[in-house]
Amino acid sequence: MKEIRVFCPATIANISCGFDVLGVALQSVGDEMIIQKVAQKGIRITKLTGQNLPTETHLNVAGVAGLALLAESDYEGGFEIEIHKKIKAGSGIGSSAASSTGAVWAMNALLGSPFSKLQLVKFAMEGERLASGVAHADNVAPALFGGFTLVRSYAPLDIVPIPSPPQLWATVIHPQIEVRTSDSRKILKTNITLADGIKQWGNLGGLVAGLFTEDYDLIGRSLIDHIVEPIRSILIPGFDKVKSVSMETGALGCGISGSGPSIFAFSKGEENARNVARAMKEVYTKIGIDYDVHVSKVNVEGIREI
Ligand code: HSE
């Protein structure tokens, strides 16, 4: 096989109580990439559509993630990468993660799969380091593994796949403002109080337990962020209103998707998720900010060949 075309899913990171450790892959939105094995050494981004992003290998997240893989490989040739962005950069649904993981997943497939998924996560994290200054894994892990993933530990890297309850649906609204992950990380405090820690890890444990036992009420009760949301939500116009109308419409929970400005809600069943989408849209229509909305099941497969 010389060429492969892949779908690289969007992802929701943090999921309220799991800052930098929890993420989930989405079904209905993602990028497409075409990766070709070529004789010429190195990596070249030959085409990039949909977004205005750098195509120089060292400045492109797919290029950097790919170089991290090549550095560990004995393959003598190179790769050419086409990236067709459907996920907007700076939207908070894992745009950089989709490109980074798409590159390393496809390169690995074209090389006969010498690397494990865990190794691919490490390579893709280099793309995240370029994008945000921090090599966080909470978007790249679910994109590669599919479904929900928990980063139990960063050193050593330990990723735990978590099952997805069959009726869990996500609604994501992206108000058309850009929030750079690097900026929204700078405003966070580096210390938390023990009291906030107790509340946060209680919810994180509750959310993971709820996902394993398909307990939708427990999932809902656990979708609370005492640490990051109170600070970051200030950057997102209309956040409190979107959250309150989502909860009134029957969402299980609602919070910031990744570093924002996208806002996500989880619902039980597609109909509820679509009702939440309507309620969210009304808020931004009234405020006068354009938006994109995605209603999606959990993508349990992750990146796939198309
Ligand atoms: N955990 C990361 C953050 C996710 O919140 O900064 C970025 O998508």
Read off the pLDDT of residues 110-139 as tens digits, 9 standing for 90 and up.
Answer: 999 999 999 999 999 999 999 999 999 999
- pLDDT value at residue 180: 85
Nearest-atom index, ligand 1, CA of 228: 5
| Mean pLDDT value across residues 281-290 | 97
Q: Specify the pTM.
A: 0.97
Same domain, 195 and 150: no
Active site residues: 128, 181
Same domain, 274 and 150: no
What is the C-alpha to C-alpha distance for residues 84 and 69, in angstroms, rounded to an integer?
21
Same domain, 183 and 149: no
| Mean pLDDT value across residues 152-157 | 98
SS3 81: strand
What is the C-alpha to C-alpha distance for residues 210 and 212, in angstroms, rounded to an integer?
5
| Mean pLDDT value across residues 86-95 | 95
Q: How far is the CA of 112 from the centre of ligand 1 (A)?
A: 31
Q: How far is the CA of 142 from the centre of ligand 1 (A)?
A: 13
Indicate the helix (H) or strand (E) that contains 89.
Answer: none
263 pLDDT exceeds 90?
yes
> Domain for residue 304, yes or no?
no
Same domain, 87 and 210: no
The verdict on the CB of residue 185 being under 6 Å from ligand 1 is yes
CA nearest 97: which of 46, 67, 132? 132
What CATH number did the domain enclosing 178 receive? 3.30.70.890
pLDDT tens-digit series, residues 177-188? 888 888 899 999
The verdict on the CB of residue 90 being under 6 Å from ligand 1 is no
Strand-pair category, 78-84 with 42-49: parallel
Same domain, 28 and 134: yes
Same domain, 241 and 285: yes
> Domain for residue 98, yes or no?
yes
pLDDT tens-digit series, residues 208-235? 999 999 999 999 999 999 999 999 999 9
Same domain, 42 and 184: no
Domains held by the chain: number: 2
Same domain, 122 and 241: no
Q: Between 199 and 177, where is the model more confident?
A: 199
Expressed as residue numbers, the domain containing 96 is 3-162
DSSP readout, 147-172? Answer: SEEEEEEETTEEEEEE---TTEEEEE
- pLDDT value at residue 178: 80
What CATH number did the domain enclosing 119 receive? 3.30.230.10
> Domain for residue 303, yes or no?
no
> Domain for residue 242, yes or no?
yes
Structure tokens at 45: 């981004």
The verdict on the CB of residue 96 being under 6 Å from ligand 1 is no
End residue of a domain, out of 136, 162, 188 = 162
Neighbours of 172 (CB within 10 A): 25
Residues in CB range of 257: below 8 A, 6 or more apart: 12, 13, 14, 92, 93, 172, 263, 264
